Every structure is written in C-alpha cells, then in structure tokens.
Structure 1
C-alpha cells in the first residue's frame, strides 16, 4: 500500500474520573489501489489505526494498559504519563486522532494527534506524533513523553502555577457597588503560642467574643495538631460589631487582615445575594481544574448562581521542568477579571427594608418593586427566615381579593354592585365568617368597593357562583401570578389552581384553599395595578439566559389600564374607608393598600400580609405568624413607606 494511505478516527475525550468512548467509525481519506472487501489478507492500515485509536484513548484517560510498546511495558508508560501530567491531571483533555500514515513497506508509520486542554479555563492546543511499527505481526507504539506534550524531553514534567483573577462586584441600581471587596479579619488560635493547659480557656474566650459556639470551637482546637493555627471565623472588620482589641489581647489569638466580597452590611439582602468564601472540596472537585483549593468562590445565592461570571478566569503559567535545565514556558495567560453582575436593587431602599425587619422573631419579608419597569428595588428576608421573600409559598389571604375583584369585574360586576356581606356564608356545609373585629356598619348589602375596602369574606363567598375557578386563575395571571420568572434568582411567582369546586373554590375567593404566593408574587400584583399592565418582576439589570419553565411568559388575558384603574380605586378605598386608614398620613403621593390575614395550621394562627402602592412603587410585607394584616404587617409597611418619604 502506498505511503499516501491515510486513515482517520474520531475525537477521543478524557473526562476526569469517568471515561466514555463511542464506537469508532474508521474511514480511508485516500487509498491508492483498493482493498478487497472480503479478503482474509491482513490490512496494515486498519491494524495500525486500531493501535493508534487505543493509544489516543490511553493518552486521553491516562490508562495505557493493553497498549503494546516496543521499548517499555504498558505499566511503565502509564506511570510515566501520570508523572508528566500530574500538575494538570484534573484538567479536561481532548485527544483527536487526525491521521495515520504508513511507510511504503507497510511495516511502520506515524499517528498524528491534536491535543486540546482546558487549563483553569484557558485553552491549550498542540499536535503530537507517535511512531508505529509492525513487529512479529503485532503493531507497537514507541513511548516517549513527547507523545503527551509536543517537544517534552524525557526528563521533563509539567508544572502549573495559577494567578487568581480579581473577583467582580455585584452592582445595584445606577451601578452602585453592593458586593465588593471589604476588609475582614481571619480570627483563630495559634497553638504554638499557648500553653496546653490554657488552650481550652483561650478557645472559649475567643469564641465568646467572636459570637460562635464555644463548645464546638474548643473541641476543634483540642483536636488540631500541636502546631496548628485553628481558624475560628472570618469577621467583618468594619461596623463595630466585634471587639477585635479584646480578641487580640487573648494570649495565642491571631487576627489576620484580608478582604472578602461582602455587601454593605451583614443583613443587606443576605438571603438573595448569598455569600462567597473559600471553595469547598466539592466545588473544587466539580470544577475540573477551573477552581483550586483556596480560591474564593460563590457559596450560595447570586454569588453562587453567577460565580463563573464574577470570578473570571485565573492566569496560568504552565512550564516544562527538569533538574537538568531551566524551566520552559509552554503556556502563559494573564488572569481575566470577572464581569460585574448588575442587579436592580436600590441600596437605600434595601437598607431600609432590612432595618424595618430587624427584631422579627418569625420569618418575615419586604419586597419593593418599581411598577413602571418591573425592577425589584428591595428584597428583604428577616433573620428568622430563608427564602421568605422570593421562594416561600404561603396562602396570601385577603391580599388576593384584588385578584378576586378583577375576576368579578370581568364577569360584569361594577364597583357599585351590591353584595351580601352576611354574618356567615355556608358552602357544602362549611361555614365562612369574617374576622372578629369586622365593622358592624359594613354588613348586609354593600357595594363591591366596600367589600374590598373592609375585606368582607362572606360577601365574596356568597358571590363565588358568579366566577369560575378558571376565572380566578386568569385574573391572577393578569396580575402576574403564575407567570414564568425572569432570568435571575429563583422566584415563586404564585399558583392559582385553574380547577376547584365547592369549598375549595369558595376558599380561593379569599386567598385560601390551594392558592399560594410568595411576597415577591404579591408585590407583583400590586405593581401590576400601579403600572396599568401585567408586570413580571426582574432582579437583573443585564442580559441573562432565560429560565426554563413550563409556565407562560405572558398572561392570556393581560390586565388593561381601565381594569388597573378600578383596582387602584379599590386599594385606595382600603386606606380612605377601610382597614388601612393608618396609612392616610404617610407623606408623599396617595397610598393604596390591601390587608391580608390567612389562617394556617389548625386555623388558630395567621399569616399577616399587606400590599401597597404609592406612585411608582409597589410593596408587599409579610410576617409568617401574627395577628392580622393591619396590626402585624401594617406597622412594618408604614415604617417602610415613611422611611422612604
């Protein structure tokens, strides 16, 4: 067969810890003087290519067992390969067999490979060639380190050094830095500076000042090596929350200065932003060499979700090193800083929302949205909750009556339509009543406006036959409930079942039953009213990949400006004539609101809600366990609106 005979094979890919190779399809690019299709004669090109394919797989995955070498054993080749690539063993490595060429006598040839590495996010590509030879009817390869890396000498191995890229900030409205590098102090005990008998007391004294568990830290110190520095905690250096002078005065305690990406305060949107810190072992392992031990990465929240964007690409210097000669640079790349994550959060509004929730002993949240744009200005979860503002699922209670009012308007009722606000409404044997302090003067036949302003449960239960459950679901969708979330952090946008009958449908009329919402979802309802159109809230002020969702992106029957105006009038009536009268004196534009109380558990405890609009602002306030919307959530809403004035 002529020397021009060439055969190719598909790409062979190395995946750390897991190898998978598809069946190879071999093809002759150029054959001069063809081969008999059914001949029993040996096919040198096919046999050489079989060896070359297996060798490529071995170069990709580091396992050369089963490969015939002319000069070393397969085990020796495998050990040599491992030594060469030890510094980059966790980095993804592609090996593509690009051609096999035989000499004229068909007893020797050359296999050419293209190698592509991902070295900490930096691509590295080169070609190598492997000599092949036929010996006693067996094709063999000749081992050398330059099969792994082009030009590598027999005594050289790879050495990798990394330079961490500057981590980018998380920005708020107007590109105001929110999460940025701020000073911290790494606090711990140096066991070489403390007498063994004093270690327990030292550890406990430091733990008390650092506000961590003394018992756990004392045990950690006791279990560490004799010369160990035992980390206690890394603390903010600013804000005056810790007595660092007192810590430093404890014998054996060290305070090491550093920086970490932090928000302005510990409370600032902490549940949403998450935190960054030293990468866990699991993060390092999953990164395939992109992240190394000691790197700062996102650990939760937006810091984790957008970690790849924020952390950038580390710089690398990959060298060939030996004891006999100077290192040779094979790859040198400068670090590429991360890209800032732009959010819609307004620093002042968020700080106010966080401060209003200080002291809440049960999960609580405040969400503020700019209706004209859908931008979330604040998303605050109290210290007792996790995900309360964005992903929690609660019955919205009477705040949902804004949705019910829209469904009734769409079915022909008007603001003046009289409804029966009876003492009791019975559906399928279940009795519904009003809240205990319901005003007696607003009972009997009252207008739909008065029903919403005074939050009469029984009137809406009595009217449940005038709208279907599908009508409620459609109205909820028009106000933003149940729509697909925008790109960004995970959000529960609410759920209104499209099918329910009897008591379940009746309960839905007053925001109970199977109706659920999060604070951000109910803030969206208020925002849609204020905007005069269906709002989908957004947390990001940058383009981002869409979120996969089975939910619709838009309402099938969007909210109209006329409908929104009428709902706005209902919400204003809550303030002027109903349970939100305490908001009449809030400075600034007129406030519209809706109170909400939702029973849960055995019915003896309540979720407390309020939603409100004021100009181009929509707010939802939620407290997981309280008395009523107006008495528990109401003061928080008032403090927030007054604080913004």
Structure 2
C-alpha cells in the first residue's frame, strides 16, 4: 500500500471516531446539560419572582407576581433539595427547599414543594401549580406577610412609678378623605397656628400628600384636660380629626424630656444604621433613654404569613410571635423631678437643678429649665463653676497641710503677671487681711485662694477634683458631662483655676457630684440607670478625715457667709458660686446638701449665686 493511501485511511478513521464521539456528546451528554441549565434557571426565577413565560408550560397557571404581591420586597431563597429524577419519558421531578427570611434574627419560614419539569424539544419547562409555590396554596390565592408589633417597655422611676409609658392618646391631624384639597389645606393652616407650628409648611405638606392620606400634626394625651379642650376646639374645622391610639409618652410633654427623649417613626438613617434590626414603620427612641435603651424598650417584632384568597379571607401559614420590650428602671424620683421643673418654670435663662443621693449616687432629679430650649443643661452643660470650685481648692489646701483655722491672706485684689483679680463687688472689709481659711471660704475671697497659687500645682488641684468625683466619666447611659480641669498655659490661667475660672468647666450634675462626694466621704459616681459597671478609682482617693474637714467648712458657709436663702434649713452644707463669662455677665451657682440629699442649682445668666441660684436650691431642699 502506498504511503499516501495509508495516510488517507488513518485520517478517515480519526474523523470517524471524532464524529462518533460528537454524536455521543450531542445525543447523550448535551440533553442532560440542557436539563440542568433549565432547572437552575427555573429555580432562580422562582426565587426572584420573575419567571419567563418560556420556562413554564402554562404561563397562566400561576401568576407569580400576584402570589408574591403581599410579601412586599421580600423574596425567598430556593434550592433543589434532590437530584432530577425521571418519572416517565420526557418528565422529571425534583424537590425544592424554600426559605423566607421575614425579619433578620427571626426564625425563617421554611418548607419543601415538588417541581415537575417537562421536555419540550431540546428544552425543558416547569409545570407550575400553586402547590409548587407554597403548601396549601390554592388557585387564585396569594401570600401576605404581616408584622406583629411588640408592646414597648416603660421607663420607670423610684418605686416603679412610670416616667414614660404606653398612654391613651390622640393622633391629631388632617384626614383628606373628609374634604377637598383646598379645604384640607385651609384647615391645616388653622390647626398648625393653634399648635404653634409653621402654618404654611404644614398646609403645603397636606396639599402634597395623597388623596386618602392622614397627615399627623401632633400626638395628644387623652387624660390631659388641655389636650381634651384642644381636640374639641380643633375638630370643628372641616378635615381635622383626632384618631384614638396608644402611644409611648412621658408624663407630660415636657417632663424630664431631655433625659427621657421621645418615640417616633424610625428615620431612614436609623433604619440604615440598625443592620436590619429596625425597619421602616418601626417606632424607635429619639434622644435620651428612649434612644439609648431602644434595644431594651422596643422588644422585637414578630410576623404572620397568611394565605389570602380572592375574597380577601386569610388563613395562617406561619407565625413568629412578637417579643414585648422590657422596662428600664431609673433612679428618678417623680415628685422631686416635678418639683424641680416647677421651680425652674419661671427662670428665663438656661437653668438646671440636680439632686443626687450621696449614699448610692442615685440621680433623683435632673431638671433643665425652659430657657435651655430642650437641651439637658443639667447633665450636659459645660460652664465655669466659679466659687463653688473653691471646695476643690480647699481640699487641695487641706492636703498641703492647711487646716480650717489656718491663716490665709485675703487682700483687696491681687495682680498675677499683670492681670488683676478682684474680690466680688461688695466684699466685706471685715473679712479682708489675714483671715482663717474657713472665713475666706465662707465669704468667697478670691485673692485668698489665688495667693496660694505657688503652694498648689495644677496636679494638686486636678487630683483634688478627681477625689471629689468631678473629672470622672459619668455612667448615666445617656450622654453626660461632669467636669474638666485642664492645665493652664499661663500663670494667670493657673491662678484663675483656683477660683473656678480659666479653663475649668463643670456641669450642674458635676457640682452636685462634688457635694455628694463630700457627704459620702468618697468619690460618688452618679447613677441614672442601675447597670453593671464600676467607676474608676480616683488617683488620690478622698479620705474620711478630709471629707470631715470639708463638711465642717461647708456647714460653716451658710452661717458665717450669711446665705439668706437657706435660712431655716438646719444642717445644711453649701457653697455659692458666681462665674464671670463676659464683662458684667455671670453664671450663678449654688451647691448644697442636707441629710442624704445633695443638690446643685445653676442659672446661666444671673447676678450672683446667692441671689439667683440659692433660692432655687433652697426651694428644692424644702420640697424634699
């Protein structure tokens, strides 16, 4: 045989074998691949809710979009649980595992259904029935997920008395189903004016809302006579409606509001930051304890999945019960808080009253006046404490070896590096010169403390402040500030710090803590919510001997210093403070204690501590 013929023969054999292999692949392997691809495509379409008509034998048999409509944006995960099994020529079956995660962290709705695939030429199509989508689903029926809202927990005070709790209320607003758009907008303007809202903005909001919308203006308390009268007065306007509801509310609209916060619909930002734990429509805390302990108070939502027929009748398919929120117990004494707010009601500037129980650090009241414009001056204010801080400087002097009777030089002013410090206007000449420390403190002689600046380093003063709890990190659960004693950059700033000026800052809570620490004999850590966590030990802890000496000094102040507002209150420890914050402008302070109660009073813009703050503190001590 010629070589050329042999080559032709070999090539022919190779081509034949290749052709045979291709035929085996085309007729044996490829159909299996097409079946797998079709199955995967159909499963993905079921999971997304978007199944192509070309993937089903009868597109009209199941309207997947209609079945899923009551599930909102929720979609299942779907996976094949078994291999594709031939049942008869041109028909294979498999089992699908379905899982619906309705709420992150909750049990998923899981079940299995059969899927039948039928061959159509080279491709495969699903023969869908309602039972393919969910067990017990019938023709024309759909799925619906409904959230089950938990009952929000209450914020409680001493003795379990409610500070904020679920309260019978009205949602007062405009119901656009009751009238036409123009009348609704007109009534909205009247309602907004009555409530002190922006009438034009609220009316515009009503105009832009849907034709069947209810546009809420305010939540009102059903048990408050003024709110009852407001509802009766405003419902006379066409379109105004008060819808009865139950809502988490404080005792009044202003009661301890900076501490408690409020509850409202979740904002988009809160939803985004929650990692799935908060969803649109949830009621969540905004500010204060309502926000800080929302995870405790809110509970967790449940849900029910129902099968709904064409007439709207529903039967339950799956349920996860809601878990109600827990209560948060605080140290607030309702009576004392109410009284503190009443005392501050007529004070124009930002103001505060704080009461602490020295024996355990419980914050019994932390009230901020109307001039604080909703801010918690009581717990977050940062102001020069003025002469109340001389209590800290007095402790530093005691530690330097001075006693209550030790002589100090109370000169008529003192110049430090070219800057003149004066005593307060009207300082008694009888208390000038060389006087005992107790006299300098009682009459609040600035120069006596500044003249000791070379004996006291910044570290001495800062350690004394720490020993009295002023510079610790507050453990309130909500935001708080006690005080700061930063080192001055100049000799003048160091001198100023000895009389509570310069860079020294304190809050009313901080100065109440100082007084509580004097009474308790150790650094008190103020507590609003009793939760685990120990306060850090001061670098130089207060000794009982030091505390006893301070108590004697502070008990002498009202007597020798003539604190008229405290007249008739036996056994009172006190120290006034007047801090200059601008030429001719002063912060007014008083801190005081009587028995197991320490208080601090503050007025941001006053004439003196004795004149403006002392009467406030005295009124609270008498009420207690």
Shorter chain as denominator, the TM-score bin is 0.7 to 0.9
What runs of 5+ residues in structure 2 fail to find an aligned partner?
Answer: 1-36, 86-91, 116-123
Paired residues for 1:575-590 under 5 Å:
575-586=558-569, 589-590=570-571
Q: For 1:280, which of 267, 281, 284 is the aligned residue?
A: 267
Contact 1:485 1:536 (8 Å CA) reproduced:
yes
Corresponding residue pairs, total = 572
Answer whether contact 2:566 2:615 (CA < 8 A) is retained: no
Relative distance call for 1:62 and 1:476 in structure 2 (3 A) is farther
Q: Is the 8 A contact 1:185 1:255 kept in 2?
A: yes
- Offset at 1:126? 5.1
Q: Is the 8 A contact 2:487 2:494 kept in 1?
A: no
Q: 2:589 aligns with which of 604, 609, 618?
A: 609
How far apart, CA to CA, are the structure 1 residues paired with 2:114 and 2:391? 75
Counterpart of 1:457 in structure 2 is 446
Task: Give yes or no for the alignment of 1:348 onto 2:320.
Answer: no
Shift of 1:356: 0.7
Of the candidates 184, 201, 214, which is equivalent to residue 216 of structure 1? 201
Alignment-derived partner of residue 405 in structure 2: 416
Q: Is 2:150–2:299's contact at 8 Å kept on the other side of the alignment?
A: yes
Q: Greater Rg, structure 1 or structure 2?
A: 2
Counterparts of residues 17-28 of structure 1 (less than 5 Å): none
Confirm or deny that 1:265 pairs with 2:252.
Answer: yes
Distance in 1 of aligned mates of 2:68 and 2:541:
60
Over 3 Å counting, the alpha-carbon distance change for 1:214 and 1:326 in structure 2 is: closer
Aligned equivalent of 1:162: 147
Alignment partner of 1:514 out of 491, 496, 503: 503
TM-score by length of 2: 0.79
CA contact (8 A) 1:310 1:338 kept: yes
Cα contact 2:172–2:242 (8 A) shared by 1: yes
127 and 332 in structure 1: CA distance in 2 versus 1, 3 angstrom threshold? closer
Note closer, same or farther for the CA distance 1:112–1:529 as it changes in structure 2 (3 Å cut): farther
More displaced 10-residue stretch of structure 1: 303-312 or 373-382: 303-312
Q: 2:216 aligns with which of 231, 235, 257?
A: 231
Structure 2: distance between partners of 1:251 and 1:408:
72
Question: Residues 121 and 314 of structure 1 are in contact (CA less than 8 Å); yes or no, is this contact kept in structure 2?
Answer: no
Q: Say whether 1:180 aligns with 2:165.
A: yes
Instruction: Give the corresponding residue for 1:432.
Output: 421
Aligned to 2:480: 491
Kindly indicate whether the alpha-carbon contact (under 8 Å) linking 2:107 and 2:320 is maintained by their aligned counterparts in 1.
no
Decide whether the 8 Å contact of 1:90 with 1:288 is kept in 2: no
Say yes or no: does 1:123 pair with 2:107.
Answer: yes
Instruction: State the alpha-carbon separation in 2 of the partners of residues 639 and 264 from structure 1.
Output: 22
Greater alpha carbon shift after TM alignment, 520-529 vs 173-182: 173-182
* Superposed displacement of residue 333, structure 1: 2.0
Who is 2:240 aligned against?
Answer: 253
Match of 2:190 in 1: 205
User: Structure 1 stretches of 5 or more lacking a match?
Assistant: 1-50, 132-139
Q: CA deviation at 1:90?
A: 6.9
Query: Cα deviation per residue 1:134-179 (whole Å; 9 max; x = unaligned)?
Result: xxxxxx9x99999x99979899875311221111111101111221
Scaled by the length of structure 1, the TM-score of the pair is 0.76
Contact in 2 for aligned 1:120/1:314 (Cα 8 Å):
no
Determine if contact 1:366/1:379 at 8 Å carries over to the other structure: yes
The 3-state SS of whatever aligns with 1:409 is: helix
1:598 paired residue number = 579
Deviation of 1:116 (Å)? 8.6
Shift in alpha-carbon separation, 1:234–1:325, aligned structure 2, 3 A: closer
Which residue of structure 1 lines up, in the alignment, with residue 32 of structure 2?
Answer: none
- The CA RMSD over aligned residues, in Å, is 4.4
Q: Secondary structure at the match of 2:463?
A: helix
Residue 564 (str. 1) matches residue 547 (str. 2): yes
Tell me the distance in 1 between the aligned counterparts of 2:79 and 2:185: 62
